[in-house]
Structure 1
């Protein structure tokens, strides 16, 4: 699934969707802006800047790539270690000697053991990690769009305490589009 973004003009939500659609929709807006336009990553809640000058093709060519996406090596550039065709990337890991000894004694060696440990942790902690990431995204968005609104501090505490009822009560007076978007970011993947 591709990352989605949401654009706001002041307190009003303009559009949500893939970055290409958002960029072209904002660029195509001919009416005078009623407020500043801000674009937020739904995954992180952080604002991003876009250069909307020039042609549609130019705008699309300047869009940022997804974080963590690896670019294929250019001609003459060495591939380095790893298995890039499979998406494997070599990075440095710092461990104590006893950790290296244990990893190297595992079937398949350190790399295989680390991949298995990471996958096991992802399975075991997946829901908790997703909930933490959702709360952080909601907080980043709230800080940018609602930091000066009533009950921001109380709402933040309720968000991180995972007290949904109190959180929703604290933000009830906020502008509807901001309120609805922060709830969507914080609780979209949870029922209830």
Structure 2
């Protein structure tokens, strides 16, 4: 039966403004193969994420082999995605795309503590990168706004263990993210302040 087949973790939607505030990762068992989750400040665990935005720049920062860094902007901030030899398809796609372009990324959140000790940086290790159109980007903004609001509304529920964990780990008022949702939706109404990809005639 299909129910017995292990399924992949759901790819969570989150705006950059929330994703970049997340810094705490955890496993739910002692098994070394157990999934690593990033704790979102609105009270959700994320082993995979789904983001859409404008690829504004890309750079091959590898020394001995290709290692691509992509800068992806949504209405609330910036995601950074890194793909190298262990993500060959994503790396090849990043190599070929000419910014600016709308892209959809599904991947794993990764945290990194820089040597200067200045906080924790969060990035995405892409499983897939694809070019999308403006309508897809707009739909992602609306659906991500809905998911974020759902998490905010459920934050104070006594049974919400991940919200309790977020409240303990992060000194961040959850209402902050309602403001980011409003800003994201308003950016659509204003016709978007992000750079528009050029369409060749």
What is the TM-score with the length of structure 2 in the denominator?
Answer: 0.27
**Structure with the higher fraction of residues in helix conformation:** 1
**Structure with the higher fraction of residues in strand conformation:** 2
What is the TM-score with the length of structure 1 in the denominator?
Answer: 0.28
**Whose radius of gyration is greater, 1 or 2?**
1
Higher relative contact order (CA 8 A, sep 6+): 2
